[in-house]
Amino acid sequence: MRAFVFPGQGSQFIGMGKDLAEAFPEAKLTFEEVDNALDQDLSGLMFSGEEAELNLTENTQPALMAVSMAVVNILKSQCGFSFHEACSFVAGHSLGEYSALTAAGALEVADTARLLKIRGKAMQKAVPVGVGAMAAIIGMDLPDVQDIAQKAQSNSAQEELVVQAANDNSVGQVVVSGHKGAVELAVNLATEAGAKKAVILPVSAPFHCSLMAPAAQEMASALADTNIHPPLVPVVANVTAQPTSDPSEIRSLLVDQITGMVRWRESVMAMKEEGVTEMVEIGAGKVLSGLIRRIDREIATSSIGTPDQIEDLIGKMS
């Protein structure tokens, strides 16, 4: 049994998607559709722009979705790829959940591009630059990191600072998010408690914590105006680590995802418990494949984001 998974922020790089656009007309059309939906030359930025501009979250989010959907559209066209026959579940990491929903037919590409542009802008403006931070805690599991976050928040109670577990990425890799001072204190506490590594991440906002509440409100309004169809296969939601196919539930969970923890480790294990033995990463990079191997080495992984990888997958599935 197979699942398709879709990457989130951190997988972007200048040049992504360019080889796909040059090799496959389906990719070129996908990038043009996203550009038109946003009234922006996003593909030009992706192919040969400035890294700092691509790393702006309002650009990163639709760009990564565009690459994932370019691959999906190539597979559909080149080998009569049928989603409900090719996989049993889809899932994505943070913004990747939007890519997963689009690939499974729950959202249209143009709608998703616009939603992710709104999402990126809303998340960025929810907290002023420099006020928030995120940090990766390596070598500690979720319960221990949650205890450390609670201690850091309690020690910052007079200043009413927030720090929370934001991403449960894999065994021994948890990300915390919140006010900069509280996150820095959590890093110090984790180091003292024996973490292999605890480091502040180069991000522009504290994603997936309660400080993102203003962004959640904006996304609730945007999603209320968006048509969501039942997906062709169940989507494993970030905030519940459970599959769903109900459009109203999907809409609600996408709002909750803005402030909620990305339960990626649990999502992977939930799919394994349902019988999934192979997970194929669709889009830019190999970040999720690496995390999945850390979570459970029994799960076969592969990454599909280049022309050669696409040709290889087509050969395997034909």
Catalytic positions, written as ranges: 94, 208
Cα separation, 130 vs 211, in Å, equals 13
**Amino acid identity of 200?**
I
Phi-psi sector, 139: left (phi>0), alpha (psi -120 to 50), beta: left
Give the 3-state DSSP-derived string for the chain, with helices as H, strands as E and coil as C. Answer: CEEEEECCCCCCCCCCCHHHHHHCHHHHHHHHHHHHHHCCCHHHHHHHCCHHHHCCHHHHHHHHHHHHHHHHHHHHHHHCCCHHHHCCEEEECCCHHHHHHHHCCCCCHHHHHHHHHHHHHHHHHHCCCCCEEEEEEECCCHHHHHHHHHHHHHHCHHHCCCEEEEEEEECCEEEEEEEHHHHHHHHHHHHHCCCCEEEECCCCCCCCCHHHHHHHHHHHHHHHCCCCCCCCCCEECCCCCCEECCHHHHHHHHHHHHHCCECHHHHHHHHHHCCCCEEEEECCCCHHHHHHHHHCCCCEEEEECCHHHHHHHHHHHC
Cα separation, 88 vs 193, in Å, equals 40
Tokens standing for residue 313: 């997958």
First to last CA, the chain: 16
